[in-house]
Amino acid sequence: MDRPTTAFSRFRADRAAFSAALALIALALFAFAGPSLAPLAYDKAYPDYVKAAPSWRAHPHADEALTALQSVADHMHVTVASSTPQNGALAATLTASRPIDPRLLAYFPRSDAFGEAKVAATRDDGKTLDIVAALKPIPLYAGADANGRDLLARMMVGARISFIVGALGSAVAVLIGVAYGAVAGYAGGRVDAVMMRAVDALYALPFIFFVILLVAFFGRRFELIFLAIGAVEWLDMARLVRGQTLSLKRREFVAAAEAMGVAPLDILKRHIVPNLIGAVAAFLAVLAPRVILLESFLSFLGLGVQEPLTSLGALIADGAHNLEDAPWLALLPSALLSAILFAFNILAAGLSDAFDPRSRR
C-alpha cells in the first residue's frame, strides 16, 4: 500500500485525528453559534425550575402546570375548582366567596409556567371564573442550575470562554516562547546555556500557585487570566522553538543572509521565525488543551470569570455542590470539558504523526 506523502494527506488518512478535528469544529460551533441559537438566555433565572432535570419535553410539565396554577390561585386568594389541560394551555375554573377581579389574572404571566390568561366565562355574579391560561413553553434540554438557569445555554457560554481563553492564552505562550526560544537558539553559546538553564529552573517551580496568587490578589479579570496562563505555559514552546532554531541556523539560506550582512534581528524575523510556523502550529494542539484545562482549574476554584458569565470549571464546581439532588449539573459540563480535551489530545497526536512520519506509532 502506498504511504500518503504530504502532511495533510497523512493527516487525512488518520481517521481518529481527522474525526477529532471534525469534533472540535462541531464543539466550537456549539460554543460560538450555540448561544444565539439556544432558546433561552444563559443568565435568565426561572425560579420555578430550580434544579429541573434534563428533559426533551418543554416545561411546564403537566404536574408543574398544576402546581403553578395552585400558587397563582393562592396569590389571587381564590380556589381552583377544576382544571383541564388543553393544547398549549390550561383551562381552569376559579371560585371565591366574593366577586373575582379579572385584573388579578395579571398574576399568571408572573409565573414561569404561564403566559397571558383570559376569562372565558363569568358565572355566579363574578364569584366563579372560567379562564384559559396559555402555557409558556420553556425547554430545559440539559436541566436547570441551582438558580433555575438553563444549563444548556450556560454550557455553551462556558465552552465559549474555554475556547477564547484557550486561543488567547496559547497566543501569549506562543509569543513569549517563540521570542525566547528563537533568541536563545540563534544566539547559541553561553547566552543559550544561561537562557535554557533558566527555563529548566522554572520548570521545577509549581507555577500554578503563583497564578492563583496573581489572580486572587489582582482581581479576577479576564485579561489577567489568559495573560497569567500564557506566562506559565510558554516553557515547552521555548524548548521546541530553540531546538528548531538550532537546526535552522545551520541552513544555507541563513548563512547567505549572514554573509550579506543582514542584522541578526532581521535574520530572526525574516528567515528563522517564518520557518518555525509549521512546528509551532502543530504544537498549538498540545498547548491549547493545557491552557483550557488551567482556566477551568482556576474557574473551579472560583478564580475565573465571574457571574453571571460562566466557564466549564465554574459549572463543574457548582455541580459538585449539588451532586446529591442534581448530579447532571456536574456530569454534563464534565463530559463537555472532557470531550474538548480528548479531541485536542487526539488531534495533537495525529498532527505530530502527520508532520513527523518517523515518529509513527
Partner 1 sequence: MLRALATRFLSMLATLLAVVTGAFFLMRAAPGGPFDLERPLDPAVLENLRRIYRLDEPLWRQYLDYLGSLLRFDFGPSYFWRDISVNELFANAIPVSARLAALAILLALVVGALAGAFAASRARSKTDVAVTAAASVGVTLPNFVVAPALQLVFGLWLRWLPTGGWGDGALKNLILPVATLALPQIAVIARLTRAAMIEALAGPAARTAQAYGLPSRVILGRAFRSALLPLISYLGPASAALLTGSVVVETIFGLPGLGRYFVEAALNRDYTLAMGTVVMVAAVVIAVNALVDVAYAFVDPRIRHG
Chain residues in the site for partner 1 (CB under 8 A):
201, 203-206, 208-210, 212-214, 216-219, 289, 293, 296-297, 300-303, 313, 316-317, 319-320, 323-324, 327, 330-331, 334, 337-338, 341-342, 345
Between 32 and 342, name the residue whose CB sits nearer to partner 1.
Answer: 342
Find the helix or strand (DSSP H, E) in which 330 lies.
helix 328-355
Between 56 and 209, name the residue whose CB sits nearer to partner 1.
Answer: 209
What is the rounded distance in angstroms from the CA atom of residue 156 to the CA atom of residue 171?
22
The least CB distance from residue 220 to partner 1, in Å, is 10
**DSSP code per residue over 300-334:** HTT-SSPTTS--HHHHHHHHHHTTTT-THHHHHHH
What is the rounded distance in angstroms from the CA atom of residue 359 to the CA atom of residue 188?
27
What are residue 130's DSSP bridge partners? 93, 121
Q: Which three cell numbers stand for residue 154?
A: 450556560
The least CB distance from residue 294 to partner 1, in Å, is 10
User: What single letter denotes the amino acid at residue 254?
Assistant: V
The least CB distance from residue 143 to partner 1, in Å, is 15
- What is the distance of C-alpha 52 from the center of its chain? 22
The least CB distance from residue 352 to partner 1, in Å, is 14
The least CB distance from residue 212 to partner 1, in Å, is 5
DSSP tag of 360: -
Backbone φ/ψ region at 188: left (φ over 0), alpha (ψ -120 to 50), beta: left
Between 50 and 341, name the residue whose CB sits nearer to partner 1.
Answer: 341
The least CB distance from residue 156 to partner 1, in Å, is 19
The least CB distance from residue 361 to partner 1, in Å, is 9
**DSSP code per residue over 186-206:** HH-HHHHHHHHHHHHHHHTS-
Between 8 and 210, name the residue whose CB sits nearer to partner 1.
Answer: 210
333: CB partners within 8 A, 6+ apart? 151, 155, 158, 312, 315, 316, 319
Please state the φ and ψ torsions of residue 307, each to the nearest 5 degrees: -55, 150
Between 75 and 360, name the residue whose CB sits nearer to partner 1.
Answer: 360
Between 81 and 202, name the residue whose CB sits nearer to partner 1.
Answer: 202
What is the rounded distance in angstroms from the CA atom of residue 100 to the CA atom of residue 118?
13
The least CB distance from residue 228 to partner 1, in Å, is 11
The least CB distance from residue 216 to partner 1, in Å, is 4
Backbone φ/ψ region at 219: left (φ over 0), alpha (ψ -120 to 50), beta: left
Other Cβ atoms less than 10 A from the Cβ of 26: the count is: 12
| Helices and strands per DSSP (H, E), number in the chain | 15, 4
What is the rounded distance in angstroms from the CA atom of residue 243 to the CA atom of residue 38?
46
